[in-house]
Amino acid sequence: MNNIIAIWQESSNAFPVISPDISEDEKSVVIQLISDCIKEEGGDISRKAKVVHLAMIYINLNNSGKEKFLKILAHDFDVDILSLDKIIHNLQKAKTDEQKIKSELILRDALIPPRILFLRQLITLPNGFIFLKDMRCDLLPMIKSAPRLRKLSDDIKMLLMTYFDVNLLDLKEVTWDSPASMLEKLMEYEAVHEIGSWKELKHRLFTDHRVFAFFHNRMSNDPLIFVEVALVKGMSNNIQKLIDVNVKSGDPYEADTAIFYSISSTQKGLEGISFGNFLIKRVVKRITAEFENIKTFATLSPIPLFRHWLSNHVKCGGNCFLKSDEEKNIIKISKNKNATHGLLEILNFENWHENNEIAEKIKLPLMRLCAHYLFNVKRNDDPLRALDPVANFHLSNGAKIEHIHWMADISKRGMKQSAGIMLNYHYRLDKIAINHENYMTKGNLHASSTAKSWLE
């Protein structure tokens, strides 16, 4: 990279300067610069200098300028639809196999957006894959209502998948002796159960707790994804007890169960590239090798969309499967003559879970609804897949729903997302393959009779 930058700096007068927000007049200049890179004219050194120059332009843009740059890539360097129409017309007219094959090959090449060549040039620069990762991070917030930008995001993702292939990643245990910068990133990126202090972090790294992460060899102090594990006796049913710094640590060599209680991705630009399933499997092998006494592997997992789904379900007039005595109890507590709406109102009561009488009265209907949500509610775009993203992740990995737990997470986040309900996904090593196959091909999820009993 230093040689390339040096060459660019020596030739900097030959390249135009672009303002941080890319003015209207400068858009055509950027388009021409990208076109020159795609044409691959000139020698290798001069081509790389042009690519580096464009990368440096992008790095120095403000948010408005970056959005304009990305829109140029998305719109001005996409597939040429008019050319496609002509190629398809020629293919339809082709009579001989030779003519058809020729047209098919031309069509194949025409379906590749010109920007792909430029993106490949960027990614082959030293640390170019990190540059593209960060570029996609800038891009993701823009794609929701912009199909062309979403397509550009997918193009970048496909290139990044090669550089972040799971076989190229290193599994490492993060310990209290790891670099402080790495430990700070764990605290920053923890997405499931917040780490509020160094004392809490230390607790999650010591004795009967472990943290494992995937690293890329070019990002040695920056984890891509990490998983937190507790080595305990039996399946845990309460996250507060599991991570409480005041609870005495156990002896990991007396434990029989490994509980995966948090998985957090750290790189927004790698969103959609799956590491979690491979991480769990690698960690299982690591723990099995170190602790012969541990035979059970399970999670204590959140249900992040349960209350969101329930709210929409009630507003749309969905069945809440309330029994007559449950309806009476809810109406009495909420003062709402509509029991289903009353249930939502109770869930919005401040600290309702601290009132034992209220909690006991709504436990059965909520657990029944949660079981229905987990077992029966599917994605609109894929009726074989569970709507809940965490459920879909673990079920697609071959796990089984083992236990659904009441008041398992009474943090503000846990109450807001799932009314405090959590569950254990059980990874039975001898059943993972068949469970995965049944879920992916038929949508069949596996659950214990205990978990299914909440549907009754």
Give catalytic residues, as residue numbers. 301, 394
Residues with Cβ within 8 Å of residue 278, at least 6 apart in sequence: 166, 214
CB 354 within 8 A of CB 414: no
The alpha carbon of 371 is separated from its chain's Cα centroid by a whole number of angstroms, namely: 24
What's the N-to-C CA distance of the chain in angstroms? 64
Report the C-alpha gap between 229 and 283 in whole angstroms: 9
Residue whose structure tokens are 């912009």 = 146
Residues with Cβ within 8 Å of residue 133, at least 6 apart in sequence: 160, 267, 269, 270
The alpha carbon of 85 is separated from its chain's Cα centroid by a whole number of angstroms, namely: 37
The token pair at 112 is: 């590749």
DSSP 1-64: -HHHHHHHHHTGGGS----TT--HHHHHHHHHHHHHHHHT-S-HHHHHHHHHHHHHHHHT--HH
* Residue (of 235, 213, 395) closest to 299 by Cα position: 235
What is the maximal distance between C-alpha atoms in the chain? 82
Report the C-alpha gap between 211 and 250 in whole angstroms: 16
Amino acid at 60: N
- Give the CA distances from residue 328 to residues 59, 229, 338, 339, in Å, rounded to whole numbers and listed in that order: 62, 43, 10, 8
Report the C-alpha gap between 157 and 165 in whole angstroms: 12
Alpha helix (H) ranges present in 335-400?
A: 339-347, 356-376, 389-396
The per-residue b/e assignment along 188-227, b for 16 or more CB within 10 angstroms, e otherwise, is ebbebbebeeeebbebbbeebbbbbbbbbeebeebbbbbb
CB 240 within 8 A of CB 261: no
| CB neighbour class for 334 (10 Å; exposed up to 12, middle 13-18, buried from 19) | buried
